[in-house]
């Protein structure tokens, strides 16, 4: 009787790796720097303004802001900006009080937001006329990337006729005439000091006949502000 031989079992032999295993280390994710609003750099904030004098059939014509105006002359400002912001324009009359020209609070307008590249007439729908009383008419122009609380609260108060006056608002505000006491404006101006501004005046006698002034804040800050004092000579 023949007995069958047990089946030979194949034993798989593990072949040692020729390259030793190296532990894999995870590379930590790169840290993304946090940029705060104060570190953000924007384009320099710029303002172009010109004085427009009414010239009959020719309409409004740009004139040199340093020219001497006469009684009966009708003028207004043309303002353009290179970025969105908030525009405030006030004018000091011969009485010593200031009148807000932009926004037009006498028609309950409080929106003073301006957009890049657009032209804004100040006043919007009329002109101011030089009377017989000689002197210097002073305009105070502010362009800011952020709203200016001092001006905003005053504008709202004047536009609403003082229906809900706040305790901190000055008593010198004369709502009926839309005028503001000189002391108040001086206090606001002291808070709105703008430094290191670049001013340039353009007087082109060529085909363009451009007569304008440019003001730039080169800082590129989100808090950029332009402040312009403009005097119109009236003789």
User: At residue 8, does pLDDT exceed 70?
Assistant: no
At residue 175, φ and ψ (nearest 5 deg) are -65, -40
Q: Are 49 and 78 in contact (CB under 8 A)?
A: yes
Q: Are 227 and 142 in contact (CB under 8 A)?
A: yes
Residue predicted with more confidence, 130 or 93: 130
- Tens-place pLDDT, residues 34-86: 555 555 788 999 999 999 999 988 889 999 999 999 999 999 999 999 999 99
Predicted pLDDT at 182: 77
pLDDT at 14 over 60: no
DSSP 30-96: PPPPP--GGG---PPEEEEEEEEEE-GGG-EEEE-TTSEE-TT-EEEEEEEESS-EEEEEEEE-TTS
pLDDT at 235: 84
Residues 6 or more apart whose Cβ sits within 8 Å of residue 208: none
pLDDT of residue 170: 44
Give pLDDT, residue 216. 96
At residue 104 the predicted structure's pLDDT band, cuts being 50, 70 and 90, is confident
In this prediction, residue 196 carries a pLDDT of: 84
User: Per DSSP, what are the bridge partners of residue 133?
Assistant: none
Backbone phi, then psi, for 107, in 5-degree steps? -115, 30
Which residue, chain included where needed, has tokens 């014509």?
61
Q: Find the mean pLDDT for residues 29-37.
A: 55
Instruction: Tell how far CA 231 is from the center of its chain.
Output: 21
Which comes out higher in pLDDT, residue 67 or 21? Answer: 67
Question: Cα–Cα distance between 91 and 175 in angstroms, integer?
Answer: 16
Do 155 and 102 touch, CB atoms closer than 8 A?
no
196-220 per-position pLDDT tens digit: 889 999 987 776 778 999 999 999 9
List pLDDT tens digits, range 143-192: 999 998 878 777 776 666 554 444 444 433 333 446 777 777 887 778 77
**pLDDT for position 168:** 46
For the ranges 19-28, 116-125, 153-162, the maximum mean pLDDT occurs at 116-125
Q: How confident is the model at residue 20 (pLDDT cuts 50, 70, 90)?
A: low
């Amino acid at each position: 009787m023949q007995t069958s031989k047990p089946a030979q079992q194949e034993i798989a032999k593990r072949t040692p790796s020729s390259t030793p295993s190296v532990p894999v280390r995870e590379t930590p994710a790169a840290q993304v720097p946090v940029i705060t609003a104060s570190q953000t750099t924007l384009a320099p904030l710029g303002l172009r303004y010109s004085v427009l004098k009414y010239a009959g059939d020719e309409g409004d014509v740009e004139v040199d802001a340093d020219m001497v105006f006469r009684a009966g002359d009708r003028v207004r400002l043309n303002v353009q900006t290179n970025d969105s912001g908030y525009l405030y324009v006030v004018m000091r009359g011969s009485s010593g009080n200031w009148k807000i020209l932009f926004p037009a609070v006498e028609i309950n307008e409080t929106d003073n937001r301006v957009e890049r590249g657009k032209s804004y007439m100040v006043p919007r729908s009329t002109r101011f006329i030089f009377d017989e009383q000689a002197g210097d008419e002073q305009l105070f122009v502010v362009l800011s990337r952020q709203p200016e609380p001092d001006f905003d609260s005053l504008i709202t108060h004047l536009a609403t006729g003082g229906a809900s006056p706040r305790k901190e608002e000055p008593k010198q505000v004369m709502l009926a005439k839309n005028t503001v006491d000189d002391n108040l404006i001086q206090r606001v101006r002291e808070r709105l000091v703008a430094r290191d501004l670049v001013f340039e005046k353009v007087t082109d006698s060529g085909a363009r006949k451009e007569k304008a002034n440019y003001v730039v804040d080169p800082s590129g800050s989100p808090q950029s502000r332009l402040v312009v004092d403009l005097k119109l000579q009236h003789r």
